[in-house]
Amino acid sequence: MKETKIKSPVFLGYLHSFRALAILKIVLGHAVAAAFIAAYGVFNDVAPIIMVSEIFYHDSTIYFAIISGLLFSRVLKPKGYNKFYISKFKNIVLPYIFVTLVLTFIKIKFDDVSNFQEGISYYASKVFKNIIFGKANFALWYIPVLIVLYIVTPVLEFLQKTNTLTKVFFFFIMIIPLFVSRIQVLTEYTLKIETMLYFIGAYAVGMYLGSDLERKLQLIKRYKYAIITAVVICTIILFYFYNNKINMVGKVSLRESVFYIQKIGLALVFIMLFKRLGGRQPKWLVPIARDSFSIYFIHGTVLYAISHFFMFIVGAKAIAPLNIVLGAFLLMVVSISISMIIVYLFKKVFGKKSRMIIGS
């Protein structure tokens, strides 16, 4: 891909707002889980409050994949692959490595080693595995997936633009998550090709939207009621699946297939709604969007570190499920606030270089 000169940077305010909403949804979903675990000691997806949270939160990382693909096609592609990969290395990979180094150091049990040299070797081994598999924190699994999306970007662009046959294959990639389900791995050190394909599909959807974006937005506006209807139907189906414990058909998760349609539909609805606001984007979303990657890196650790401070709310089972609702909301607000304070302090100390350290 040849580099071309860009007269002025492209800033899509409505997409910036959508990014903020995406991270808010992700943190809120994690906050509900943290509040429920703090209150009851276990995660139970048949509990009504968890069921509702899962149906509206689960797979919200699809939003990030769509945003990344859209921004590549609409903003980053004209700048050339050199700048694309340098920016991703500096602003995603380096902060990811730094956060992994810190979180691994915090969590590692040096009592298990007998001397300094063994401790260093043990730490280095843990760090390496945590970087490869995204295991320094429960939320970091997505970063290795995101890096794979960046790696396959040239292949996807080739398929998207070359000829009719490659375009058909590109379309197949967009719908492959309907037939290949992501596999959630909570404790194992492994990367699943199915999970990669699932998010490559969402990333391809973003690339498709980003090419000739204004025309695609007009199509979304024209078919908005059909899109909203599809989202509602998918949501009803998901409630039915959860209530009746329906999921796997062979190796395909029916829930993940429906989640994929639901989240893409919701992404289109949110983009359309924020686009209608034009220059009147909610100002309070701007700093959240700006720090979104840092919040993603940090919030998981903060969330579970502070959850016991809110036992006075989440432990009030007599008012259930209000105890979880209030506890989750407070956990979300406080964890995002602490994450943003950490970002602010890094900016004060390191200036613009903080983006290569903490992501913002």
- Contacts of 172-180 with C-beta under 8 Å, sequence gap 24+, read 173/197, 173/200, 173/201, 173/204, 174/201, 174/204, 174/205, 174/208, 175/201, 176/200, 176/201, 177/201, 177/202, 177/256, 177/257, 177/260, 178/257, 178/260, 178/261, 179/252, 179/257, 180/252
Of 290, 280, 283, 295, the C-alpha closest to 340 is: 295
- State the Rg of the chain over Cα: 21
Q: Token match 């046959």: residue?
A: 165
pLDDT of residue 41: 86
What distance in Å separates the CA atoms of residue 50 and residue 237, rounded to the nearest whole number? 16
What distance in Å separates the CA atoms of residue 140 and residue 151, rounded to the nearest whole number? 18
- Helices 254-277 and 61-71: crossing angle, nearest 10°? 60
Q: How many CB atoms lie within 10 A of CB 256?
A: 22
What distance in Å separates the CA atoms of residue 236 and residue 22, rounded to the nearest whole number? 22
pLDDT of residue 108: 78
Left, alpha or beta for 174 (phi > 0: left; psi -120 to 50: alpha)?
Answer: alpha
pLDDT of residue 7: 46
pLDDT of residue 8: 44
What distance in Å separates the CA atoms of residue 140 and residue 137, rounded to the nearest whole number? 5
Judge whether 21 and 272 are in contact, CB under 8 Å.
no
Q: Which two tokens stand for residue 301?
A: 């650790």
pLDDT of residue 113: 64
> What is the sign, positive or negative, of the torsion defined by CA atoms of 308, 292, 180, 223?
positive
pTM of the model: 0.92
SS3 248: strand
Please, what are the averages of pLDDT over each run of 10 residues along the chain (360 residues)?
48 90 95 92 85 93 96 90 94 95 84 70 89 92 95 96 94 96 81 94 96 92 96 97 93 96 97 91 93 93 90 88 93 96 94 88
